[in-house]
Chain A
Amino acid sequence: MKDTFNKIISKGGPFIGLILVIVLFSIPTETREFFLTYNNFKIIFTQTVIVAIGALGMTMIIVSGGIDLSVGSNIALTSVVGAQLIQRGWGPAPVLLAVVATGAVIGLLNGSAIAGLRMTPFIITLGTLGVARGTAKWMADNQTVNYDGSPINGWMTTADPFSHALPAGVWVSILLAVLTAVVLRNTIFGRHIFALGSNEATARLCGIATTRLKILIYTTAGGFFGLAGLFQLSRLRQGDPTVAVGLELDIIASVIIGGASLNGGVGTILGSMIGALIMAVLRNGSQQMGWPTYFQEIIIGLVIIVAVFLDRLRQGKQV
């Protein structure tokens, strides 16, 4: 009986959390009408896209035993780069490639510094958080970068209430989530990420090129963050160097709520995606309840603490 309970908590913890949050917001009279509708979930999914794509990269990093605090700045910088390229008349496909590449370069710098200088990821990415944010503001001359129009603007729209189709951003997130989950589970690259995070000394002893692996992880994750920046651009329809301040905390929280351990070696893409959804549902529901934003912040903060507490209980049981 107790074993079954533990198993449910350990395997389905985040999923139970998500259902709980949805049920809670479906009960009050203020939200009953609209909350459980297809259109509302379309909005919630769309609002999840940026955090979710960021969480894909962050899951890889956290499973490998690292952390990346520069995500928010990465998103701001890549959104500015994207907007400026659109201004110059670039089409959607080249902009997409350029923005992902820009994010990957930031990741490459992070990874090289962490692996090459043997410094802690926390310090290095705290540094690049400032560097990337400053660069974004510098490039954008401290103001938003506006452009006339681009097909990219349509990738995140929920404006048309008669269209039932989910916007492109949601589909891209789902596709990438499946792909990343498979990579983490079934490729040498993925298994080595778990090995690195579980015990770096063992990974080295078993002949894994840990320096190269770390650089590869941060670069790949940087590519994801660049893509998140593109969807940020699409959502705002402008490049904004001051956007996504503090978003790294939402992304890290999603991954942690999803069951990953900051000690590395543990985490799943499915969990992180559910974590991102929990955060989005909480935001959406709180807005509909008419709760002030400070109240939302308090609730989300408490959810993170409870999730990590459950995580610790679970780890204590397992190891």
Chain B
Amino acid sequence: MMSAVRLRLAGIRKSFGATRALKNVSLEIAPGEVHAIIGENGAGKSTLMKVLSGAHRADAGTMEVSGLSYEPENPHDARLKGVAMIYQELNLAPHLSAQENILLGAESARGGWVDRRSSRVRAQAALAQLGHEGLDLDRLAGDYSIAEQQIIEIARALLIQPQVLIMDEPTSSLTQADTEKLFATINRPRAQGVSVIYISHFLEECRRIADRYTILKDGETVGSGEMKGASLDHIVTLMTGREVKDLYPRSARAPGAVVLEVKTVASGPRLKRATLQVRAGEIFGLAGLIGAGRTDLLRAVFGLESLTAGEVCVVGAPAGAASPRARWLQGVGFLSENRKEEGLMLNQSIADNLTLTKMSDFGRMGWVSGARQRAVAQRWVGELRVKCHDSGQPVGQLSGGNQQKVALARLLEHPAKIFLLDEPTRGIDVGSKAQIYQLVSELAAAGKAVVVVSSYLPELLGLCDTIGVMCRGELAVVRPRAEWGEAEIMRVATGSA
């Protein structure tokens, strides 16, 4: 086809410190085309979208919109230049009306006064463009459902008549029916020549809505083509296609009795149904996309979120009213995926962080011996090679990897029998990673049960004995590790199995 290119990206690079998030990304999109960007967690999709929407500036490479050089200063500048972005998390002011939200930042005004009549006309026009004329413009945005709020967001994006509309995971919090409606909605601006960049983990969805696709892996474009006739297997292979290295030690271990049983558990809006058993001396991996309910499952098991259905049994006995306190007493330890906001007290010492779950062991009659706390902390600092001045140093001053070691040492010191580890190696350097893999492997060899949630598939495949894959809030398939491959996990996780 000879039609002009609406958006062209060539050789885009972007680094954050030593991390090369985007190494070489190229992309071409025609007017009126829906283009799917596909890739694993951490492949560089978010960074690419931030570069496109003006939140980050690329280090190298060129961008063109309709043949003109495009170098947005910031998101506002990007909008003015015709590129609008709709984030996964909706950005509405819930206390303002639908109309005010649609016109936010672009109000019709006459000498500083809002021009109500022209405002209404413009808001209505934006909704009509989407085929949603019926929406009550005077209702507060917060009173609308998530799906309707999304329509309001799209209407806001269309108000400035963009040439390119970016949608990041638009269906992650939508029901199947709402997803269908959203597709119908997207087809309208597309018919008017707006190009749409569509990012989703769900490959089936991408295949239905998109005309073409581009696959990112480790910050590089590794493939692109027509969606029509493309095989999902081919796409999944391109997405993953990595080798498991010798980073993962395998300790000699023999799984024993079942120590943790989760029976048809449901919790919160995301976790719908999960059943699993973990044995002593077993490492159980939980795979799935972000938002599939893996973290929710761990938190529910640990008593941080209440169960709406099902039961958790620890060492055979129903675990009863769940609270983190009860779980620690039962010998269950939890490592949060978010060490800065939840896992650690950043302005308190290593010793205090390490001993927080069991301070009564460090003294008697309610008294705490600082010397004993420090002695124990010093021992772990030595054993795990935590880089610090001394055990009295605030944890916030340590590097990410060393912070994670302190958080892990808390579980080891407690001592827990069942370890729930949520993204244990997120954001830490390779050296620390290897050390943590070694540690987890030794735990299993010593007869502890370990549950690991990770978004990094080689890690799960390298470390675990059993892997369960979650999709849309359900623990879909549980199998021994030998029966899984990266492609197979992705197939189940993306709901395309």
Binding site for B on A (CB under 8 A): 185-192, 194-195, 198-199, 201-209, 265-266, 318-319
Contact = CB atoms under 8 A, between A and B. Distances in A.
B359 A192 contact: yes
A187 B368 CA distance: 5
A206 B327 CA distance: 10
Nearest to A202: B345
Contacts of A191: 352, 356, 359, 368
B334 A205 contact: yes
Interface string B345-389: 111100011001101100100111110000000000000000000
Chain B binding site: helix, strand, loop or mixed by DSSP?
Answer: helix
B341 interface: yes
Interface residues of B, number: 34
Given A206-B324, A209-B325, A201 B342 contact: yes
A191 B342 CA distance: 18
B356 A195 contact: yes
A319 B370 CA distance: 22
Contacts of A204: 304, 324
Given A206-B324, A206-B328, A207-B327, A198 B367 contact: no
Contacts of A203: 345, 356
B286 to A, nearest CB: 19
Contacts of B329: 207
Nearest to B302: A205
Interface of B: 304, 323-329, 334, 336, 341-348, 352-353, 356-357, 359-360, 363, 366-370, 394, 396-397, 410
A198 B346 contact: yes
A199 B346 contact: yes
A265 B396 CA distance: 13
A319 B352 CA distance: 16
B337 to A, nearest CB: 12
A265 B347 contact: yes
Nearest to A194: B348
Contact of B336 (A192, A205, A209): A205
A198 B325 contact: no
A199 B345 contact: yes
Nearest to A189: B366
B360 A188 contact: yes
A187 B366 contact: yes
Contacts of B397: 318-319
A204 B345 CA distance: 12
B368 A266 contact: no
B424 to A, nearest CB: 15
Q: Which 5 A-B pairs have the closest CB atoms?
A: A198-B345, A207-B325, A207-B328, A201-B342, A206-B356
B356 A202 contact: yes
Contacts of B327: 207
B372 to A, nearest CB: 11
Given A194-B352, A198-B347, A318 B394 contact: yes
